[in-house]
Amino acid sequence: MSDSLVVCEVDPELREKLRKFRFRKETDNAAIIMKVDKDRQMVVLEEEFQNISPEELKMELPERQPRFVVYSYKYVHEDGRVSYPLCFIFSSPVGCKPEQQMMYAGSKNRLVQTAELTKVQPGAGLHSVREGWSGSWV
C-alpha cells in the first residue's frame, strides 16, 4: 500500500466525527457512510446510522457508486468475551465510473490513517457486509 497517493483529503468535520465514533460508549451496531465530494476534493460524511445490522447497512449502500464505511459492531468471542471492533469497508460495486473508482482508491489510505483504523479487510465490499462476516476480522 502506497501512502504517497492522496487524491482527496478528509473533511475536518468528518475527522472529528470519526474520532468521537472511535471512542463511543454505546453497545449497539453503528455505521458512518462516507463519500467523495468531487468538487471539494474531500471525503465527507454522507450518513450516520445507529442500531443497524449488516444486512440493513448493505441496503443503504448505493448499487453503482463507491462508498467508504466505518462499522462498529458487537462481537461475542467463543470464550464469552464481548468486543466492539471498528471495521473499514470500501464498497466499490461493479459498474462504477473509472474516475470515481480512482478517486476513492486514491483516498482510501489517507482516510484509514485519519480514522486510525486497524481492522481493514482487503477487498472488502458490498458482498462482505452480511451477518457472520466479522468473525475473521477479530
DSSP 8-state symbol, 93: -
Give the per-residue pLDDT at 123: 54
Written as tens digits, the pLDDT of the chain (138 aa) is 445 556 899 999 999 999 999 999 899 999 999 999 999 999 999 999 999 999 999 999 998 899 999 999 888 999 999 988 888 999 888 888 888 888 998 999 899 988 888 767 655 554 554 444 544 443
Look at residue 30 and tell me if it is in a domain. yes
3-state secondary structure of 103: helix
Q: What is the CATH number of the domain that holds 25?
A: 3.40.20.10
Cell of 95: 459498474
| Total tally of structural domains belonging to the chain | 1
Look at residue 1 and tell me if it is in a domain. no
Q: Are 88 and 121 in contact (CB under 8 A)?
A: yes
Give the per-residue pLDDT at 135: 45
Closest-CA residue to 37 (of 7, 79, 16, 59): 7
Cell of 36: 467523495
Look at residue 138 and tell me if it is in a domain. no
Look at residue 87 and tell me if it is in a domain. yes
Look at residue 43 and tell me if it is in a domain. yes
Look at residue 137 and tell me if it is in a domain. no
Look at residue 3 and tell me if it is in a domain. no
Length of the chain: 138
DSSP per residue, 36-84:
EETTTTEEEEEEEEES--HHHHHHHS-SSS-EEEEEE--EE-TTS-EE-
Look at residue 135 and tell me if it is in a domain. no
* Domain that includes residue 41, residue range: 9-127
- The helix or strand, by DSSP H or E, that contains position 100, with its residue range, turns out to be helix 98-115
